[in-house]
Amino acid sequence: MDVHNFFLILFLILATARILGELFARMGIPSVLGELSAGILLGVSGLGIIEVNDVLKVLAEIGILLLLFEIGLDTDIQRLKEAGGKAVIVALFGAVFPFAVSSFFAYYIFDLTLVVSLFIGGTLTATSIGITMRVLKDLQKEHSEVAQIVIGAAVLDDILGVIILVFIYDYAITQELNMTNTLHTTVFILLFLLIAPTFANFISTFMKKSDEHQKVPGFIPTIIISLIAIFAYFSHLFGAPEILGSFAAGIALSRRFILPFGMGLRNDEVFLEKVKNAITPIAQMFTPIFFVMVGLSMNLKVIDFTSTRFWTLAFVFLVIAIIGKYMGAFLLRDSSALKKALIGISMIPRGEVGLIFAEVGRVNNILDNEIYAVLIFVIIVTTIAPPFILKWLFKYEKDDLAP
């Protein structure tokens, strides 16, 4: 890509995301949907003037990491611990049910091959925490108990999703049940989760002690961005499959890395506020790029809306996708019906995570155009609908903010 073309593309992405995000917000619609719409408008589904490329993927990855970094700094660690058991229930049911049921329907009801059936199940397992947390942040509910449970569940959900994808991908390529890469990736993620807290607390202490001695401005944002970059690099050194290296690193960084980092700063509110003020403007610039990229990746043109089989497949898998995430929350005890509904709806968005599954299947000729179109449709509906519902449901929520 020529440099001057990249600058034009970056201008179009930032300007369109800002205009549509602001427009949607003024209409009472979550601004994240405006940014998603910007991607759909600029991408292959609309004007077709921007194509997804590696440079934009990197910028988008930085955006989602920074968004979740912000949320991590604001996370109530004690409430997150209290939500641990509930998060496990929501995550396990939300991963096992859609994977098992959708794979069963695909294989036994729709007579699809086992590999295709497993890929469909894997795609419907994923949850896009970025979509939900952006909506909760916009609604000023990122401190709520709902947010704590959703964050915890999404951590486990994404880890299970990556492990499932590695297993299915290996089976699709080799036609053999080889657990080596699956176990390798599992160990890789667990190592990140074990190492990250200690390393993160060390860095937080280093930042606090070093910041006041710096003569050159920009120390804090430089350290944060540098950490994101080096952890992404280390992900490959840990031997994760190439197609999943950055994805798994993102889980380790954005989900478990930020939380102990925020905890390390918790005793110094002045410095914590300084970190927030330093990183917020950068996050506000990069985060919309991520949501635009999700929209760019959605290809509505592959969908044949006149096909009866398409609508049959789409309806069945959409229902499974919704029930699989929504009903997990209703297994929780000591929670009101409204809170269960909020948690369940928050877990439904598939977004970029589901697109990763579907794209891996398409690129490797595992999914044909019809099945790929069905999955794209399910991903779009499960990504766009929940923000509307969350905004409406929170109007009836009374006492969910942290004190």
**pLDDT tens digit string along 29-57?**
778 888 889 999 999 888 989 888 878 88
In a domain, 6, yes or no: no
- Please, are residues 295 and 37 in contact by the beta-carbon 8 Å criterion? yes
Q: What tokens were used for 196?
A: 């990250």
The SS3 call for residue 43 is coil
Spatial distance between the Cα atoms of 157 and 159, rounded to a whole number of angstroms: 6
pLDDT of residue 79: 55
pLDDT of residue 313: 94
The mean pLDDT value for 365-390 works out to 86
What residue numbers bound the domain in which 81 lies? 62-284+307-396
Q: What tokens were used for 240?
A: 């994760």
> Which conformational region is residue 160 in: left (phi greater than 0), alpha (psi within -120 to 50 degrees), or beta?
alpha
Report which of 159, 106, 61, 86 is spatially closest to residue 321, judged by C-alpha positions. Answer: 106
In a domain, 16, yes or no: no
- Please, are residues 38 and 20 in contact by the beta-carbon 8 Å criterion? yes
- Residue 342: which CATH number? 1.20.1530.20
Q: How many CB atoms lie within 10 A of CB 203?
A: 17
- Is pLDDT above 80 for 339? yes
**How large a percentage of the chain has pLDDT more than 90?**
12
Spatial distance between the Cα atoms of 107 and 261, rounded to a whole number of angstroms: 44
pTM above 0.75, yes or no: no
In a domain, 79, yes or no: yes
pLDDT of residue 252: 42
pLDDT of residue 268: 61
Residue type, 273: E
User: Which residues have C-beta within 8 Å of that of residue 319, sequence separation ≥ 6?
Assistant: none
Per residue in 78-99, pLDDT tens? 555 666 678 888 888 888 899 9
The mean pLDDT value for 106-124 works out to 90
Q: To which H or E segment does residue 93 belong?
A: helix 84-104
Spatial distance between the Cα atoms of 122 and 116, rounded to a whole number of angstroms: 10
- Is pLDDT above 50 for 178? yes
The mean pLDDT value for 147-175 works out to 74
> Long-range contact list for 103-110, CB < 8 A, 24+ apart?
105/316, 105/317, 105/320, 106/317, 109/316, 110/313, 110/316
- Is pLDDT above 60 for 369? yes
Report which of 18, 70, 12 is spatially closest to residue 42, judged by C-alpha positions. Answer: 12
In a domain, 21, yes or no: no
pLDDT of residue 231: 66
Report which of 141, 136, 147 is spatially closest to residue 79, judged by C-alpha positions. Answer: 147
pLDDT of residue 262: 53
161 vs 197, more confident? 161
In a domain, 175, yes or no: yes
pLDDT of residue 77: 53
pLDDT of residue 240: 46
In a domain, 9, yes or no: no
In a domain, 238, yes or no: yes
- Is pLDDT above 60 for 121? yes
In a domain, 243, yes or no: yes
Number of domains the chain contains: 1
Residue type, 114: L
Spatial distance between the Cα atoms of 335 and 233, rounded to a whole number of angstroms: 41
pLDDT of residue 258: 47
The mean pLDDT value for 21-27 works out to 89
- Please, are residues 240 and 188 in contact by the beta-carbon 8 Å criterion? yes
- Identify the residue whose tokens are 């506020």: 273
Per DSSP, 76 falls in state: -
The mean pLDDT value for 16-20 works out to 94
State the average pLDDT for the chain: 77
The mean pLDDT value for 208-222 works out to 80
pLDDT of residue 61: 76
- Please measure the distance between the N-terminal and C-terminal CA atoms of the chain and give it in whole angstroms: 50
- Please, are residues 50 and 43 in contact by the beta-carbon 8 Å criterion? yes
155 vs 123, more confident? 123
Q: How many CB atoms lie within 10 A of CB 140?
A: 10
- Identify the residue whose tokens are 């930042």: 207
The SS3 call for residue 116 is helix
pLDDT of residue 140: 78
Q: How many CB atoms lie within 10 A of CB 196?
A: 20
Over its C-alpha atoms, the chain yields an Rg (Å, rounded) of 21
pLDDT of residue 70: 67
User: Which residues have C-beta within 8 Å of that of residue 242, sequence separation ≥ 6?
Assistant: 236
Q: Report angle CA 4, 10, 361 to the nearest 5 degrees.
A: 110
- Please, are residues 149 and 83 in contact by the beta-carbon 8 Å criterion? yes
Spatial distance between the Cα atoms of 346 and 154, rounded to a whole number of angstroms: 10
The mean pLDDT value for 340-363 works out to 80
